């Protein structure tokens, strides 16, 4: 099993969710986060003074998937989230040892 994590532009979340649900992903977790990549944020003008905004608002999406689906899910997220402009974010996957469904006690792939 793998955990797919994506940091995305907030306004693309709905497109990504729709694409993942069409693929058949059962569940996902979303959180509001802040961060920056190679551009190190941006500058903004407030009351005539310029400030650097290092951490830009993003959403973080986490999906647990079977190993066989991992590459497809990454591709779906990357495609749905892409605008081509800077700040589109990243998608990555990490191995997961164990998953337990709390209600039933099912383990592993059964719990996804």
Partner 1 sequence: MSPHLIGLLADVPEPIGDTAQTYANTAWLLASSALVLLMTPGLAFFYGGMTRAKSTLNMIMMSFSSIGIVSVLWVIYGYSVAFAPDKTSGLFGNLSLRFLHNESQASITNHLFDYAFIAFQLMFAIITLALISGAVADRMKFSAWIAFSVIWVTVVYFPVAHWVFAFGVPISDAKTQTGGAGAAASYVAGTGGWIVSKLGALDFAGGTAVHINAGAAGLALCLVLGVRKGFGKEAMRPHNLPLVMIGTGMLWFGWFGFNAGSTLLANGLAGLAFVNTQVAAAAALCGWLLVERLRDGHFTTLGAASGAVAGLVGITPACGTVSPSGAIVLGGLVGMVCAVAIGLKNKLGFDDALDVVGVHLVGGLFGTLAIGFLATKTTNGIGVDGLFYGGDASQLGKQAVAAFAVMGYSFVLTLIIALALKFTIGLRVTEEAEVVGIDQSEHAETAYEWAGFATGSTHASALAGSTPQRVGT
92 binds partner 1 (CB under 8 A): no
Instruction: Establish if 46 lies at the interface with partner 1 (CB under 8 A).
Output: yes
Of 24, 27, 48, 84, which one interacts with partner 1 (CB under 8 A)? 48
Left if phi > 0, otherwise alpha if psi is -120 to 50, otherwise beta: which for 41? left
Helix/strand/coil (H/E/C) assignment for every residue in 58-93: EEEEEEEECHHHHHHHHHHHHHHHCCCCCCCEEEEE
CB 29 within 8 A of CB 20: no
Stretch that binds partner 1, among 2-10, 13-21, 49-57, 82-90 (CB under 8 A): 49-57
**Residue 51 C-beta: closest distance to partner 1, Å:** 4
CB of 34 to partner 1, least distance (A): 13
Provide the β-strand partners of residue 95. 2
Rule CB under 8 A: say whether 45 interacts with partner 1: yes
Under the binding rule (CB under 8 A), the answer on residue 110 touching partner 1 is no
Residue with Cβ nearer partner 1 (54 or 83) = 54
Q: How many CA atoms lie within 13 A of 42 on its CB side?
A: 7
Residues at the site binding partner 1, with contacts judged by CB under 8 A: 44-49, 51-53
């Amino acid at each position: 099993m793998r955990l797919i994590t994506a940091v995305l532009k907030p306004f693309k979340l709905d497109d990504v969710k729709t694409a993942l649900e069409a693929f058949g992903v059962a569940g996902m977790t979303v959180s509001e986060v802040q961060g920056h990549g190679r551009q190190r944020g941006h500058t903004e003008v407030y009351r005539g003074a310029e400030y650097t905004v290092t951490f830009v608002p993003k959403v973080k999406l986490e999906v647990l998937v079977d190993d066989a689906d991992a590459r497809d899910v990454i591709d779906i997220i990357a495609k749905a989230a892409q605008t081509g402009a800077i700040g589109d974010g990243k998608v990555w996957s990490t191995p997961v040892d164990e998953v337990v469904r709390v209600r039933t006690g099912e383990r592993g792939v059964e719990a996804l």
